[in-house]
Structure 1
């Protein structure tokens, strides 16, 4: 749904994004747009939303900047995306120094205000120090009491990978484990069969072999091997060239041909059989508030840990986060 906006002539979301992009052409900076995503664990009141956006704009001096907003409803509650223009009348752009730390600080404050469980981030100590410097000693103490001081949480996935996983319900960690097992067999035929058993297939990408998951999204083979081996504590650091050598002599379909057609079908991948059409979604805008976070012991017992920097809880992604699968379940798919 179309949300709030400011300083724009157009009305629809797509047209407003185009307008912001056009405005950004006059900037002296290569990234004149800023994307922010807020996803609370429960429905916020209009006043709570207003407080969050006011604190965000005050922190980054965005009070007079043009923006567009879109509202999503997922799992029965709202979350919002905003894209701000950073362009100033002088042609320069608003500086976003240390924005990850500052955004974590804003999220901790929002959790305190709304009674959300306190999440652990990657910059906990810096957040506590910043709060004390601003005179917010009570809030800093709340974070200490929640066990955040001296801790640091890092995620297993990059923000774009996590966003893709949220869209497709494909557990990249589980997929990586399957690929590593097949890789260790030094037999691409074995790997192909193992992937096929989980609805995934091998293809040749621009730089090397890739794995196409059940939804048609693509993952570099060597990166999956590296991801799973690192989780085992024995990183292999396989290069794209080594992955090419691994499948040399095997007739793999080209992913570029599949993508050009916009779908996977029997003509492009005969071994797939008939499958549904897959639409290729462009990468998310950079700068969203996805980060490496988890719940503290103060989380409600019926909720699973979530490492997103924004305020949310997603029990259906627990398999991804914990690298575990239920007996007899598909270790690739996290969809219920």
Structure 2
């Protein structure tokens, strides 16, 4: 009996997109974003899209707007206006989210929080304690937003180490790479993003990224205009223990050097094997945030990776 070959597109793209349409820069109204998300998830492109990401301020409205019988995987972003400290206010915010976790059809996969101070170990520990105090289910992960474009490598590594250490308490911890510009914070270049991926892989900390990616491939060969196919390839290589220079090389590969079909994802001189990609997507690169899933389907169609409806071409 012939061995079944895993399609490279299934390995790389299944559930890759987290829908961030309610967040900046698009800021779609919640009802419109929810309807569009449900529509995508129920169509030919549903295999590409995983979670809907919303701000904590929208949590109450979501419970009212969710259609009956709809299953929704959800992540909620808790903001820290002005870089305020964690503590009782965070617990109160999280208590407001607890009923959402118990809403039929809703799977609250993660609470996303930024770490902004100089003591990431204390901040991360405070977040984990606050989730427990607010009775957020243990199955809900903590997704820590890590700004890497303006931070020294040592400070980023301390943050990632704190995230990894917190996972020993039993709650899943995830590091989210901030890949787009945010206010005055610049996006990371190839070296910074490659270093982030390698450090996370070495520490066994799973990652997400975005929003702020340029699309499937790099835009105009800018150092910070990262493509998510490049990112998938770089994550696979980091997960396999490749050297930093090779990880950076696939992140830096221009659009003309990125190809994808049923057989393989090829970036520059690197052929990314489907089995390694599937393992990486399961255990390491969990998803990328995109503000417009439809636009990404159209972009992949132009690359002849998908049909116009989002099915495999």
TM-score by length of 1: 0.25
Higher helix share: 2
Higher strand share: 2
